A = this chain, B = another copy of it.
Amino acid sequence: MSRWIEVGQRITHKNDEVAADLRRRFTVAGVKVCSLISAPGSGKTAWLTRTLAELKVREQRAATLVGDLESDCDARRLAQAGFPVRQIQTHGICHLEAAMIEEFCLGWDLSELDYLFIENVGNLVCPLAFDLGQSQKILMISTPEGEDKPLKYPQAVAWAELVLVTKMDLAEAVGFDSSALVENIRRVNPDIPILFTSARSGLGMDEWLKQL
């Protein structure tokens, strides 16, 4: 076990240097960078697709980088709003790294952007160790996953600066107990803001855009 962690720490140290450089460039360019993690299928892409459409209406400028092991399904969905989108195919790697962000931002004029969204590979563990130079760390938990997720993945809750509870339109069908989820989140991260959202109904979109 300790061998695994040691090796990981050496790799993430190098990642941190690249991320620090990215953060400097993002800051100079004045772009807000939101890094999103969640379990696979929690609705990151659906929420972002709706967010991008809303930003378009508001004449904001955004770009998105999206990570998946394979396929460009997500990038095609995210491109609907007409903003720049690039798919990062990790081919077996379980998380995004700062070097990938650096590579896939190439050619984009960051100073032309208000927002850059980074949608990580669906994974509640490995992405936590890799700083991507973001300004805000966002964790999504969908209602069908159950209220106990924060107890089983406390590191993800501790990492986050904002929790979006997604798929609230399914809350009744799955017997979701929102106060139990909030209690479990607050046990790990007492002061974190929590927004209840639905990409289908638009619930929470105004509040989300306001805090952006």
Contact = CB atoms under 8 A, between A and B. Distances in A.
A50 to B, nearest CB: 15
Contact of A93 (B4, B73, B148): B4
A173 to B, nearest CB: 4
Can you tell how many copies of this chain the complex includes? 2
A81 to B, nearest CB: 19
A74 to B, nearest CB: 7
Given A125-B94, A144-B170, A40 B152 contact: yes
A167 interface: yes
Contacts of A154: 69-71
Interface of A: 1, 3-5, 7, 11, 39-41, 68-71, 73-74, 92-94, 121-126, 142, 144-146, 148-149, 151-155, 167, 170, 173-174
Given A69-B152, A71-B154, 10 more contacts: A39-B122, A40-B149, A41-B149, A71-B148, A71-B151, A94-B123, A121-B125, A122-B153, A125-B126, A170-B173
